[in-house]
Amino acid sequence: MIKIINLSKSFGNQLLFDNVNVSINSRERVGLVGRNGHGKTTLFRIIIGEEQADSGEISIPRNYRVGYVTQQLLFAEETVLAEACRGLPEHLHGETWMAEKILSGLGFSKQDMLRKTSEFSGGYQVRLGLARVLVSEPDLLLLDEPTNYLDIVSIRWLEKFLRQWKSELIVITHDRTFMDSVTTHTMGIHRKRVRKIEGNTDKYYEQILKEEEIYENTRINDEKKRKETELFITRFRAKARLAGMVQSRIKALEKQDKLDRMEKIKTLDFSFSYMPFPAKTLMRVEGLSFSYGSADLIGNFSITVGREDRICVIGKNGKGKTTLLRLLAGELAPRAGTITMHGDAAVGHFAQTNTLRLVPLNTVEEEIMASGCDRQRSRDIAGAMMFEGDMALKRIEVLSGGEKSRVLLGKILAQKSNILLLDEPTNHLDMESSDALLAAIDDFEGAAIIVTHNEMFLHTLANRFIVFQGGEVSVFDGPYQAFLDKIGWDDEREPGPQDGTASGRDVVTRKDQRKMRADILSRKSKTITPLKVKIEKLEAEIDQKEKRLSGLNNEIIAASGAGDGAKISRLSKEIHAARSEVDVLFDEFEALITELELKTREYDRELESLAGSSGGDALCD
C-alpha cells in the first residue's frame, strides 16, 4: 500500500489540492475522478517522482514497484514482441506467451508482433507502452486515460484483464462504464480536496451532492441566525438592562465560524441548436464503396437515416469508421454508390483532425463567429465551452489539444443543424463533461451519427449501429445489449477448428479449463461467503458488547463519585464479565479472519495454477 500524507500542490496562483491524506490499500482498484485541470495527472506524476509536491509526502514501501505509461515513449528493442518482453519481471524472463497474450488483447496480430516498433502509428505505440507496463506486473499500476487509443474490442479485453488485477490500481478515464467495471473504490479531487470511498462513481457523486446540499443548507441557516443576532445587537445595544444579553450575543457571534459560499465549479454547457426539419428521412446511402489504394475499407454499404435516429458507429480502429463519417460529411468522394442528403438537411460535423483547420491567429471568439453567429452569441458559446471573459480572446495557436476540441464543439453549437456527425467527441472531455454531452445529444431533436468506444453512450443513447467487423460493414437495429447477445464481437467468441487458430482438441481443452475455473470459483464462493457472514455477525456483536462496556464504565465512574460502594462492587463484576465475553469474541474473530485468508490463498493458488497450465487463457476470461 502507499500513503499520501499532507500533500499540497499548486502551479503559480492556482492551487490544485491541499493537505491531502489518503491511502491506497492492498488490492484496491481505485478510479480517480475530477474535472480537467484539477490535478489528476499531476498527482500521478508526483507519485512516480516526475513532479515535486509543494509540501507533504508520499510513503511508498521499499521494493514497491509502480508502473506508469509515460508520455515519452522510448523503445529499445527492434520488434514489438521484444519490446513488450522488456517489461517482464525477472522471474518471468522468457515467458513470451504473457507478452503475446497482452499484445493480442490490445489489438496486435501475430504478424504485428514481429514488425519494427517504428512502423506503427502513435496510437499503437501508446498501446505497446501499455503492454510493456502490464506484463511487468507492478505493485501499483497507474493508468491515465488508457482507453483513448483503444478500440471497443481492446477496451472490453482490458476491462476483463483489470478486473483480475491482483495488486493495486489507480485509473483515470472519462469512460464511466469502463471505470465502474474495473474499480473497487472511487477517489475524487473536488474543491482542492481528495477523498476516497468504497463503491462506484454514482455512489461517490451522490455522496458529494448530499454533503454539499447539507453544507449549503447549514450555511443559509447560519447566515439567517447571524443576521438575527446582529439585528438584536443593533436594536438593544443602547439599553442598559439588556447589556448582558447583548454582550453574550456579541461573544457568541465572534466565536461562530462563518461558512463561505461554495465557489461555482465551471462545467461545459452543451445545447445543440436545432434546424427544423419537416421530412422523415434526412439521408439515404446506397451501394457505398471506398478504398485507399488496394485496401477496401467500405463495400456496398447502404443505410437510410431518419430525423430522430441515434446511430453509433462501432468496430476496431483502422477499419473505416472515421472514413465513413468523412464520406457522409462530403469531405471524401466514394469510389462507388451514392449519398443523397435531403435539401433541408443541415450537418454539424465534429472530427478531432478538424483542429488543423482552425485559424491559428484567430481568437476563440473569432473562430466561433466564423460559423455564422454574432459576437454576443459567440461570447455566450465561448463561456459555455469554459472560455469565460478574456479567455475568449486567446489565440488558437496557444491552445492545448483539448481546448481546440472544445472550440470545434463550440463552432457546432453556433450553427443550426438537424444531423450531427461526431467522431470520438469525448476524447478530451472529463467524466462530467462527457455526461453533459450525452445529455445534450439525447435532447437534440435531430439525428446523430457518432463514432465512439464509450459503452455508456452505446447502452444509453444508440438505437441503431453501423458495425465494422469481419471485413464488412453492416447495420444492426436495436439496443447495444441486443447486439452483444445476438452477434457480439468476433474476438470474444470461442475459436474453433475452422478459424485456423486451434484444433478441435484445443477447443475442448479450453472449455474444460473454463469449467474447472467455474468450479473453483463456485467452491470458493460457497466457502468464503459463510465465513464473511460469520465475521460480519461477530463484528456487530463485538461492537454491541463494547458499547455496553462503555456504558458500564460511565456508570461506575458516576457511582464512584457518589460513593455508592454496593453499586461499584456490582458494576465491577459486570465489567469483568463483559470484558471476558469480548475477549472470547475477539479470539473467535481472529481465528475466522485467519481461516478466511488461508482459504482465499488456497483458491487463488488453484486459479493461478489453472491459468499457467492453460498458457494464460484463463488470464482474460
* Dihedral sign computed on CA atoms, order 472, 478, 482, 486: negative
Q: Where are the beta strands (DSSP E) in 342-418?
A: 347-350
Query: Bridge-partner residues for 10, per DSSP?
Result: 15
Instruction: State yes or no: pLDDT of 607 exceeds 80.
Output: no
Stated as kind and residue range, the H or E segment containing 68 is strand 66-68
CA distances from 447 to 317, 329, 418, 456, 461 (A): 24, 14, 6, 18, 12
Q: By mean pLDDT, which of 12-16, 30-34, 219-223 is the weakest?
A: 219-223
* Cβ within 8 Å of residue 579, ≥6 positions away: 549
C-alpha cell at 203: 455512489
pLDDT at residue 271 greater than cutoff 80: yes
Find where cell 514501501 sits.
61
β-bridge partners, 419: 347, 447
Q: Contact at 8 Å (CB) between 136 and 85?
A: no
- Whether the CB-CB separation of 22 and 196 falls below 8 Å is answered with yes
Q: Is pTM, for the whole model, over 0.75?
A: no
Which of 61-65, 416-420, 543-547 has the lowest average pLDDT? 543-547
pLDDT bin (cut points 50, 70, 90) of residue 240 is low
Terminal-residue alpha carbon distance, the chain: 27
Residue 612 has a pLDDT of 56
pLDDT at 209 over 70: yes
Q: Give the CA dihedral 161, 167, 172, 177, nearest 10 degrees.
A: 40
Min mean pLDDT across 125-139, 190-204, 493-507, 538-552 is at 493-507
Average pLDDT (587-614) is 70
Alpha carbon 214 to its chain centroid, in Å, reads 27
Question: For position 82, what pLDDT does the model report?
Answer: 93
Choice between 318 and 519, residue whose per-residue pLDDT is larger: 318
Structure confidence at residue 30 (pLDDT)? 97
Mean pLDDT of 385-394: 88
Tell me, what's the pLDDT at 611? 63
Q: pLDDT tens for residues 451-467?
A: 999 998 999 999 999 99
Checking if the pLDDT of 352 tops 50, the result is yes
The b/e string for 391-422 (b: 16+ C-beta within 10 A; e otherwise) is bbebebeebeeebbbbbbbbbbbbbbbbbbbb
Integer Cα distance of 225 and 222 in angstroms: 5
Q: Percentage of the chain with pLDDT > 70?
A: 90
Residue 497 confidence (pLDDT) above 70: no
pLDDT 10s digits, 111-139: 999 999 988 878 888 899 999 999 999 99
Read off the pLDDT band of 394 (50, 70, 90): very high
Length of the chain: 621
pLDDT, residue 429, reads 83
pLDDT of the residue at 621: 34
Mean pLDDT over all residues of the chain? 85
DSSP-assigned letter for residue 52: -
Q: What is the mean pLDDT of residues 302-313?
A: 95
Least confident range of 258-262, 372-376, 517-521: 258-262
How many Å apart are CA 480 and CA 390, to the nearest integer?
43
Assess whether pLDDT exceeds 50 at residue 499. Answer: no
Question: What distance in Å separates the CA atoms of residue 463 and residue 448, rounded to the nearest whole number?
Answer: 11
Residue 507: pLDDT band by 50, 70, 90 thresholds? very low
Torsion of CA 565, 566, 567, 571, to 10 degrees: 100
pLDDT at 556: 79
pLDDT band at 576 (very low <50, low <70, confident <90, very high): confident
Task: Say whether pLDDT at 516 is over 90.
Answer: no
pLDDT value, residue 450: 96
Q: 298 has which bridge partners?
A: 290
